[in-house]
Structure 1
Amino acid sequence: MKNLAILLFVLLISSNFVSAQLPPSSVPDAELKRKEAEARILDFQQRVDNLTKELNSVDEKVNQAKAELEQIKAQYKDCRKEILSLVGATDADIDAFRQKVGVLEGKVRQMKGLSNDVLADRRNDVEALENELNQLRSNKIAVLPEFYDRIIGIGRDIKGLYREKKITTYTVGTWSENRDCLWNIAGKIEIYSDPLLWVKIWQNNTDQIKNPDIIHPGQVLTIPVKADKTPEELKAERRYWRNKRAAEEAEATAGEKQ
């Protein structure tokens, strides 16, 4: 109401008042003469009017931008529906595919941190990654822009994981001269420096070694890359010790009967 009263007052001011010189802003309102006060009021009102016009213009532009944004959202939604229809997938299918791609990327990243020797020894794991990638490639979802470049990058990284396996061999010497047995061979510095890995040599030479307690001079054994025992090797080792204990117990029982 106060602003409205001021506006009405200004409109009633004569042209002489309008043409009055605007006083310096440093002069307090209480010290202004009538015409100076009227000029200041008119100036303030003009500023308010200009700011109101600017605000209205900004509001109009904001509303226009909002309308355009809603239109773009609608177009995007229609476009996405059409894309999903083309690949025969739902949003849930896309989410599941995205998760599979991320998991595969993590596996590849982990393999890239391995040494060349270990990669050569784990060629089967690399092939498994490639098979997993091929399954993803067979899905039409793979052609979507979100995944296309990622799939290509994963394929390139997997190809870079293949290593040729270096074949290291050891020729068995005699017990009297070399003290060669699988335990001692695995303990040699140039082999593993760890006799507990003897089972790896055994399991990689089962075509020559039927009984790991018996090896013959002149046998050329393949020495796999040093690594932790595989589940299959651990299983074979447990079976060996179990059979060995059973044989010792049977021998002891036979000795007691004699």
Structure 2
Amino acid sequence: MLACLTEDRRLRVPGDAVRQGEHPVDTVVRAFAQATGLTVEVTRLRDADTEVVCTPAEQTHQDRLLFDVRIVGGELPGHVAWVPAVDAGGVPLLEIANDRRRHREVQRFGAYGLVTDPQGRVLLTRIASGYPGAGEWHLPGGGTDFGESPTEGLLRELAEEAGQQGRVSELLGLSSGHSPAAVGPEGYPIDWHVVRVHYRVVVDEPVEPLVTEGAGGSTAAAAWFDPADLGQLRLTRAARTVIDGHLAR
């Protein structure tokens, strides 16, 4: 693993905050170039985790994506070193300052699931009126609460949006969506950027779907579907991509 020697003479894993509208993969490439001068290619998403960072002034929730990369250009500078794999877990990430966004510029991190049951059915949720993608069927999931890991947030959302108890079985990947003039629930345009981590989720004992998140939530309905019927639905782009790429595996 590569690590950078910072000004305080400590090793750190290169990285940066995702800019508004930026795909996390592009963030990794940019951050590596800035910190090391190297050109890298992202090969896979390794993990997603959460940390609550405490300072004397405040506590902040940070969602972090960890990637495997391959060096495709540049020479190793003096402040960058290889760390043996057995020691990699002890090297922290670069510290990232709290990102205070401009008015009406919204960036959201969420976890979503390709949810199936023992019969092979797929669980989907329909986006409520007033939210980006209203009326389309989407993967269950949503934004994480403060201090909540992506998998914890996904299973909570699965219970709130559809009344199901599931178990996460696999990390599938991620997607990024940017709508500079989306209309939010308040009725005015917002610069909306969402980063989603996708997991495979199994519901061993499915029940009739029931939305319990309350009035004003982003979910209008939830339902189980046979795979043969999915082609007739209005799916979000992210749902279609995940289903086409992973359902038959």
Which TM-score tier does this pair reach, normalised by the shorter chain? under 0.3
TM norm structure 1: 0.21
Give the TM-score of the pair, scaled to structure 2: 0.22
Bigger radius of gyration among the two: 1
The structure whose residues are more often strand, as a share, is 2
